[in-house]
Chain A
Amino acid sequence: MARTWFLGLTAAIGLAAGLPCAGKVPESISVQHIHADEAVAARRFMRENPGTEVDFRVVSFQSLLESLPVQLASGEGPDISMVADWGGLSKYYLDLRPYLSASEAAYFEREFGNILGPMRGGDPHSRAIYGMAGAVTLNGAFVNVTLFRQAHVELPPPGATWDDWAAAARKVAKATRTEMPMEMDRSAHRFASLALSYGAKLVDDQGRFAVDPGLRTAVEKFVAWHRDGTMPMDLWGAVGGTTHLDRFSDFMNGKVVFYFGGSWSLFLMDRTVGDAFDWKVVDAPCGTAGCVLMPGGAAMVAFKHTKNPRLCARYLAFLARADNMRAALARHANIPAATTLVKTGVEYPRDSERVRAALAAFTRQMPNVPAEAYRFQGWRYQRAALNSLTTRISQILTHELDVDTALAFVRRDVDLAIQASSR
């Protein structure tokens, strides 16, 4: 009896000890995204790759900007995440190349050529493949067509300058008693479109912030529009520091004729405004150097601290597949980033005719985005420059600084940021 009992106990202990080894432990990675419905892709990946597990976490965009850098600096954080600061966090990115097949690597190079460069933090010698971006965002101008019609003013044609748009918007606002002719998000990223259009380089060949006549012209125009009432003080003049502020609600409520925001607002625009008034996205307003829209958005990257680099590479290669990118683009009414999809276009079956036209207008302008814009977007100190530009332009508007002093301060702020991070 005692022997039977002993054997039974031994067998039970042996079974319990062996249990964890009985089934294969799934390979697991954590993925961070700002859209909850992107979990669809994670689920599909797990279905197609049995034995893998994707821990999908939804975070706010603010968290990507503020919490993620701190997590990464402390060696923590998810295995894969969306990143908005493409170049600024590049030192934490995992190079996927060793984990991709030659054909996969060539596919990444071909489809995401414009994005891989900025993600390398401006290192011209790097051949690293840090990730992918199925969608890009573009800054863009939204125009209230109904107000133009009511004011009997013709919409400025493609190729119209910023000044043409300002004049037309003022005329329309006056005729229709609309509160504001023009508005622009309080974001130096939006302002960068204006600056690049007037020939600003933003980053010089030595990797420092460039203060040039193009930038000066753009700042002077921008300040003049605030002084003469073309733009209200409620955005750039209302708050201080680096605070991001948008008043897209003004456009959706028909209170502004011309709003310079971004492509990410299309989804909201379609659902909120509906048929209340006629609106459209127009071609980029031009400056003396071109008609430039600044690219942006978030890329998907894996980080060096991951314990499953191979699985991270497999997941990003899965997201980069054309069918998956098409599905994700259609879910959020986004502009494609991959070269082939830009050429072939994407179907947006869930969106209205107006949104489809707006997306077509954005996509049409994608090839016109100049190399300077991508270089600035991927510059390691882009955030430092954007933060400083926002702060200093606001100081000009409130008469704390003149244009020359403000631009000198921007250059000095960025130099100090470069110096402090390398010290």
Chain B
Amino acid sequence: MHSDGKAMEYLGAAAALPARALEPVMAGLQRVLGMGRLPWVFLAPNLAIIALFSLAPVLINVMYSVTGTDNLYPGERTFVGLANFATLLECGNYLDPATCSRDLFWRAVRNALVFVPTQVAVMIGMALATAIALNRDIRARGFFRGIFFFPVMLSPVVVAMTWLWLLQRDGALNGILGLFGFERVSWLTDPSRAFKWSVFVTVWAHMGFYTIILLAGLQSIPADIYEAAKMDRASPWRVFTRITLPLLKPVLLVVFILAVIRSVQTFDEIYVLTGGGPGTATKMIVHYIFDTGFAVMPRNYGLASAASLMLGLVLFVFTAIQMRLARGGGANG
């Protein structure tokens, strides 16, 4: 007992050593900078990391978006001003991608306008339903929580390859249908079906993440409110709409913002599953950016950068609106 206490004393002294060593430095900094500026010293390492890994790439992206040629070195690229943005936006009729200079970009935008709301709605609906089910006192609850979260841990390419094996012409799904005497179905060669499967696979892959966030939100709602509602003989639907949903609203907003950003950025699963096809039925904006910058020769880094900046700008505006709404909701609520 005595030796344990001694050991703890030594450990404590050892742990305090760096702080003691820094004390004169900190005191000096405090004298020179004053208390008001000292926090910046503590923030400096993080700010440097953000500047290096977030801000610098954005600035490089801006530089590429206003320059042309397929040269990679900035010094070898020619300044073209806003020409890349103008090329992307050049359109006879925005409702008809075929009239646009870069029709594939606008097809991707059009697909995203259908894909994002559909996928986010299905994702949040499914995640909420699953979270509510997993929040109940059901048998093997831990097992089911693990099962629903499992796809999140898989690489997107593994997810897409798995579903590709299930859905292709000679895949497992058609094999099962064949066992029961049904005709084989073109799951991925029909544009409409391929689109629906793209929504389903991306929901399947990411739903677990949002389920966990919503589950945490559900568990933070005090149980006595539900008990009071039970005593008032409130119906389950009334409990859901009047208690669960309003109290879950801040968490739902976070989930909504995250889901929308992720949905707009969808790339890997669909790239492997359908390659953006059939035709351009499942081509998304990030896929267009990848193709333009890295897959098609000659590489058009300028156009790809312009497209990614436009996408970033839209996401920024969208997130700002969401944040504002969230703050408003918080103040009211």
Contacts and interface: CB of A to CB of B under 8 A. Distances in A.
A65 B291 CA distance: 13
B169 interface: yes
A240 interface: yes
B298 A241 contact: no
Interface string A67-95: 00110011100000000010010000000
Contact of A238 (B70, B277, B287): B277
A417 B296 contact: yes
B250 interface: no
A240 B276 contact: yes
Interface string B172-195: 000000000000001011010000
Contacts of A119: none
A75 B71 CA distance: 11
A165 interface: no
A239 B71 CA distance: 30
Contacts of A420: 68-70, 298, 300, 302-303
Contacts of B47: none
Interface string A256-286: 0000000000000000000000000000000
Do most interface residues of chain B lie in helix, strand or loop, or is the interface mixed?
A: loop
Given A74-B72, A234-B168, A240 B298 contact: no
A381 B298 contact: yes
Category for how many chain B residues contact A: 35 or more
A421 B189 contact: no
A61 to B, nearest CB: 14
B103 interface: yes
Contact of B280 (A232, A387, A395, A405): A395
Interface residues on A, range: 35 or more
A237 B297 contact: no
A398 B291 CA distance: 20
A225 interface: no
Contact of A417 (B191, B275, B294, B298): B298
A149 B133 CA distance: 61
B131 interface: no
Contacts of A422: 69
Contacts of B291: 241-242
A139 to B, nearest CB: 20
Interface in B61-114: 68-73, 78, 80, 83, 87, 98, 101, 103-104
A384 interface: yes
B206 interface: no
A91 to B, nearest CB: 10
Contacts of A400: 279-280
A234 B98 contact: no
Interface string B281-303: 11100010001001111111011
8 contacts: A70-B72, A73-B71, A241-B295, A384-B298, A397-B278, A416-B101, A417-B297, A421-B70
Given A239-B276, A423-B80, 17 more contacts: A69-B297, A70-B294, A73-B71, A73-B72, A239-B277, A239-B278, A240-B278, A241-B276, A241-B283, A241-B295, A381-B297, A394-B278, A395-B280, A397-B279, A398-B278, A417-B298, A422-B69
- 9 A-B pairs closest in CB distance: A240-B277, A383-B297, A398-B279, A239-B275, A243-B275, A73-B72, A240-B276, A423-B68, A421-B298
